[in-house]
């Protein structure tokens, strides 16, 4: 069917800002691995819908999301991508200092400051939760549980009866990252999600992938339906060489997934690739209307991750080839979207894209997330 979407859906900066506000600040968004912030005082700086957020491990071991803006004069507190604060967070401009929970703990000449200046000046906080070893953030006020966003998507992919345990066999929360690759894609974030939502392009674009997964030549992928795609005869694992790179994940022993490629999209910004001996977690970070960062992380069982005999690079190479082919195609679509002749038509193989369109359209029509109420300014007496 023809889409009502024109090219400006991928090129309009104003629409992109509405999407960042309503989709990425009004939904749970995956921010990265929780083990990247392992010890009290450690932090990671994340972009969430255009807002800079510090995920900080507190002295109590909890993760918190703190808006990366000093409550005195609005300076950005931290510009490093990750690191360690120690026991407190200090603004370099005027020295206002905050605890790891965001509480204002000190300022120069604090005893001389009127109480109204420092009252209610703790850092703004962001909702944080952990799932499958990853940090998820929500900038809305009183957000719903993450499960309300995730479980319907799992049910759509694996069936309602399997929604809560479809991922259990992979033990994702216990896996360890072995490799990470970041891709700077000159394309709108939606074009990348759309690419991961269909396999109609696979026989044209992915010769290496379809040799490993012959079912993909049919044009139907594994982001819908109930079953995954079987590895080709003679292939022991999903890798460039066709060999298994690690022992099967313990939870898959004897199941049909032990020789299957599975995938699931978790909108707005996660794609999970599920394999017999490892998992790949892809996370999208929209940077501009025509630029998206995609971070791919290869996860293995802890025993395999520590085993020097495990040939992770063999598996990384195969999917990395496919990723780069996908991202070049997305960049070509971005170029085409600038044309007044742009249009799109979707065969049945691409029905998930239409569901994604409806999901985005509904999100951008919702009210904008509530902004925090500013603390009234305090007049400064003349001296």
- DSSP assignment of 79-104 equals -SSEEE-TTEEE-TTT--EEETTS-E
User: Does 113 score more than 80 pLDDT?
Assistant: no
The reported pLDDT for the residue numbered 175 is: 98
**In degrees, to the nearest 5, what angle opens at C-alpha 359 toward C-alphas 355 and 360?**
120
The reported pLDDT for the residue numbered 108 is: 84
- Average pLDDT on 285-296 reads 98
CA 272 – CA 359 distance, rounded (Å): 19
pTM for this model (two decimals): 0.92
In percent, how much of the chain has pLDDT > 90? 77
Supply the DSSP symbol for 375.
P
CA 115 – CA 223 distance, rounded (Å): 56
CA 248 – CA 259 distance, rounded (Å): 9
CA 10 – CA 335 distance, rounded (Å): 10
User: Does 370 score more than 80 pLDDT?
Assistant: no
- Average pLDDT on 177-190 reads 98
Output the furthest CA–CA distance in the chain (Å, rounded). Answer: 84
Question: Please, which residues have CB within 8 angstroms of residue 74's CB and are 6 or more apart in sequence?
Answer: none
What is residue 108's three-state secondary structure?
Answer: coil
What is the length of the chain?
383
What is residue 189's three-state secondary structure?
Answer: helix
Beta bridge partners, 266, equal 270
pLDDT band of 121, cuts 50, 70, 90:
confident
pLDDT band of 234, cuts 50, 70, 90:
very high
The reported pLDDT for the residue numbered 112 is: 64
- Average pLDDT on 172-194 reads 97
CA 337 – CA 331 distance, rounded (Å): 10
Angstrom distances, CA of residue 291 to CA of 188, 215, 257, 331: 6, 31, 35, 9
User: Does 312 score more than 70 pLDDT?
Assistant: yes
The reported pLDDT for the residue numbered 368 is: 80
Residue 285 CA to its chain's centroid (Å): 7
Which runs of consecutive H residues, i.e. helices, occur in 34-165?
115-118, 146-158
CA 89 – CA 85 distance, rounded (Å): 6
Tokens, residue 246: 């690690």
226 versus 7: the higher-pLDDT residue is 7
Beta bridge partners, 274, equal 262, 279
153, exposed or middle or buried, with CB in 10 Å at 0-12, 13-18, 19+?
middle
In percent, how much of the chain has pLDDT > 70? 92
CA 202 – CA 213 distance, rounded (Å): 10
The reported pLDDT for the residue numbered 334 is: 97
The reported pLDDT for the residue numbered 1 is: 45
Beta bridge partners, 229, equal 261
Question: Please, which residues have CB within 8 angstroms of residue 195's CB and are 6 or more apart in sequence?
Answer: 201, 326, 329, 330
pLDDT band of 258, cuts 50, 70, 90:
confident
pLDDT digits over 69-102, tens only? 999 999 999 999 999 998 999 999 999 999 999 9
The CA-to-CA distance between both ends of the chain, in Å, stands at: 71
């Amino acid at each position: 069917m023809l889409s009502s979407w024109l090219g400006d859906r991928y090129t309009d900066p104003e629409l992109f800002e509405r999407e960042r506000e309503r989709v990425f600040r009004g939904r749970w968004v995956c921010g990265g691995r929780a083990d990247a912030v392992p010890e009290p005082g450690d932090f990671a700086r994340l972009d969430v819908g255009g807002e800079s957020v510090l995920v900080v491990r507190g002295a109590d071991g909890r993760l918190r999301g703190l808006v990366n803006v000093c409550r005195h004069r609005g300076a950005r507190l931290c510009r490093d991508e990750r690191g360690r604060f120690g026991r407190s967070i200090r603004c370099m401009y005027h020295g206002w200092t905050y605890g790891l929970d965001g509480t204002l703990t000190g300022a120069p000449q604090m005893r001389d400051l009127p109480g109204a200046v420092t009252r209610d000046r703790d850092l703004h906080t962001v909702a944080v939760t952990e799932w499958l070893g990853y940090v998820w953030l929500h900038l809305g006020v009183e957000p719903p549980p993450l499960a309300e966003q995730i479980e319907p998507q799992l049910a759509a992919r694996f069936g309602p009866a399997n929604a809560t345990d479809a991922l259990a066999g992979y033990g994702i929360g216990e896996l360890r990252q072995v490799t990470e690759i970041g891709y700077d894609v000159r394309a709108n974030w939606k074009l990348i999600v759309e690419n991961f939502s269909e396999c109609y392009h696979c026989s044209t674009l992915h010769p290496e992938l379809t040799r490993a997964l012959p079912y993909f030549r049919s044009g139907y992928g594994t982001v819908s339906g109930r079953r995954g795609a079987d590895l080709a005869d003679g292939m022991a694992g999903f890798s460039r060489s066709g060999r298994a790179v690690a022992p099967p994940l313990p939870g898959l022993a004897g199941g049909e997934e032990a020789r299957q490629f599975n995938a699931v999209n978790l909108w707005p910004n996660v794609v999970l690739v599920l394999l017999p001996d490892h998992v790949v977690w892809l996370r999208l970070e929209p940077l501009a209307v025509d630029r998206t960062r995609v971070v791919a992380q290869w996860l293995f069982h802890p025993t395999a991750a520590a085993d020097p005999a495990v040939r992770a690079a063999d598996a990384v190479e195969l999917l990395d080839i496919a990723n780069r082919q996908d991202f070049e195609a997305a960049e070509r679509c971005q170029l085409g979207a600038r044309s007044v002749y742009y249009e799109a038509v979707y065969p049945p193989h691409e029905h998930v894209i239409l569901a994604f369109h409806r999901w985005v359209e509904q999100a951008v029509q919702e009210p904008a997330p509530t902004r925090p109420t500013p603390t009234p300014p305090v007049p400064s007496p003349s001296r």
